């Protein structure tokens, strides 16, 4: 590691993983934390999942959402990715001196609307106001607890022959944030996919789908998720490039700026690993929510702990863990 923290240490990719392993795991090591899941599974009279996250997105308001909606979606989604129903949340605000009350109220209102979608409530919180210039308008931290409805979901459980499904088209959050931040005008307005995902997961659970692993593809996008899974399970994941759904707007931004859609952040899109018997049924359920849900690949034994991208031209290349800071402050 370098001697100073860089923006790349927060990218969800290689440098981010290095920071976690060499600093945080070094001092905070325990069996639960070291599993590197989206939420911790805790043993109590009822099994609970616990997760925490901080939000610094810029701009505060973007097409399809805002920092308030994002803070609730992000935490509730991490619980949902472990088969848990979001129940109780805490929230902490760090607010810059001079922020307009109406702006704060708009953010909090947005949070409440998203809480209602998840049937969850804020049960504790904290507010700090800091001198102007000490923080960019407002930062939010949320912690969530949820009741586990489906046990055994883990990135360590992938085996050869399983299928990989994505819930909808990818990269819209990263593209929307970049367009809003840089003032890029498009023929059709691109919207972030920011959304609460528990309803999707509940539908899969109610249909008795045996979810092997599931992850919302936030920082680092699909590429980061697939590489984390391949490493955790010691398998190869092969993806068919032309099966990955990408909207024309996202594709256009990627071509214009040299981005890789597979590495762009999402805030309402997840990847799920399924046993072969469940793939078609799960896809049918997910298509009821979004027509772009697609089977994008499978688990093989070609190259241990690697992700392979198969192009429509018959070529293959490794899809590596994203490196560098593609776009800071996207969540």
Mean local confidence (pLDDT), 242-268: 93
Query: Strand pairing of 236-240 and 306-310?
Result: parallel
Q: What percent of the chain has pLDDT over 70?
A: 98
What pLDDT score was predicted for residue 186? 58
**Could you read off the pLDDT of 2-15 as tens digits, one per residue?**
777 777 876 778 88
CA distance 172 to 111: 21
What pLDDT score was predicted for residue 84? 97
Query: Domain residue spans in the chain?
Result: 31-148, 163-318
- pTM confidence score: 0.91
DSSP secondary structure of 155-186: TT---TT-EEEESS---HHHHHHHHHHHT---
Mean local confidence (pLDDT), 184-203: 87
Question: Measuring CA to CA, how many Å separate 114 from each of 38, 82, 243, 270?
Answer: 19, 19, 31, 18
What pLDDT score was predicted for residue 60? 96
CA distance 144 to 165: 26
User: What is the b/e burial string over 237-253, where b = at least 16 CB atoms within 10 angstroms of the residue's CB?
Assistant: bbbbbeebbbbebbebb
309 or 190, higher pLDDT: 309
Question: Measuring CA to CA, how many Å separate 174 from each of 119, 255, 265?
Answer: 27, 14, 5
Q: Which of 53-57, 166-170, 186-190 has the lowest mean pLDDT?
A: 186-190
What pLDDT score was predicted for residue 327? 81
- Select from 144, 130, 135, 155 the least CA-distant residue to 211: 155
What pLDDT score was predicted for residue 137? 93
**CATH architecture assignment, domain 163-318:** Alpha-Beta Complex (3.90)
What pLDDT score was predicted for residue 303? 92
What pLDDT score was predicted for residue 187? 58
Q: Residue 166 — φ and ψ, nearest 5°?
A: -110, 140
- Binned at pLDDT 50, 70 and 90, residue 324 comes out as confident
**Could you read off the pLDDT of 38-52 as tens digits, one per residue?**
888 877 788 999 999
CA distance 261 to 175: 9
Q: Which of 75-89, 118-132, 287-301 has the lowest mean pLDDT?
A: 118-132
Residue 214: which H helix or E strand, with range? strand 211-216
Statement: residue 113 has pLDDT above 80: yes
CA distance 199 to 29: 33
**CATH architecture assignment, domain 31-148:** 2-Layer Sandwich (3.30)
Statement: residue 188 has pLDDT above 70: no
300 or 178, higher pLDDT: 300
What pLDDT score was predicted for residue 30? 78
Q: How high does pLDDT run on average in the chain?
A: 92
Q: Which residues contact 182 (CB under 8 A, 6 or more apart)?
A: none
Q: Which of 119-128, 154-163, 260-269 has the lowest mean pLDDT?
A: 119-128
């Amino acid at each position: 590691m370098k001697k100073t923290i860089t923006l790349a240490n927060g990218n969800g990719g290689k440098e981010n993983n290095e920071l976690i392993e060499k600093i945080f795991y070094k001092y905070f090591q325990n069996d639960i934390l070291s599993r590197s899941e989206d939420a911790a599974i805790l043993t109590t009279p009822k099994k609970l999942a616990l997760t925490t996250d901080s939000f610094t997105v810029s701009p505060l308001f973007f097409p399809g959402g805002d920092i308030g909606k994002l803070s609730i979606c992000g935490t509730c989604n991490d619980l949902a990715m472990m088969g848990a129903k979001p129940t109780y949340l805490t929230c902490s605000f760090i607010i810059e001196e001079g922020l307009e009350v109406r702006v704060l109220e708009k953010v909090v209102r947005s949070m409440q609307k998203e809480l209602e979608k998840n049937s969850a409530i804020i049960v504790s919180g904290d507010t700090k106001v800091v001198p102007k210039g000490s923080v960019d308008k407002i930062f939010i931290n949320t912690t969530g607890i949820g009741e586990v409805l489906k046990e055994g979901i883990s990135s360590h459980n992938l085996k050869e022959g399983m299928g990989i499904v994505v819930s909808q088209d990818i990269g819209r959050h990263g593209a929307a944030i970049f367009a809003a931040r840089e003032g890029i005008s498009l023929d059709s307005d691109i919207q972030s996919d920011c959304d609460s995902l528990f309803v999707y997961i509940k539908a899969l659970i109610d249909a008795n789908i045996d979810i092997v692993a599931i992850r919302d593809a936030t920082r680092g996008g699909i590429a980061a998720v697939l590489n984390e899974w391949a490493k955790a399970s010691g398998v190869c994941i092969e993806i068919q490039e032309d099966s990955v759904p990408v909207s024309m707007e996202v594709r256009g931004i990627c071509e214009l700026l040299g981005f890789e859609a597979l590495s762009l952040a999402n805030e309402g899109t997840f990847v799920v690993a399924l046993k072969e018997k469940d793939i078609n049924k799960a896809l049918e359920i997910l298509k009821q929510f979004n027509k772009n849900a697609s089977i994008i690949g499978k688990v093989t034994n070609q190259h241990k702990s690697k992700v392979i991208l198969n192009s429509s031209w018959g070529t293959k290349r490794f899809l590596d863990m994203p490196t560098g800071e593609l776009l800071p402050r996207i969540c």
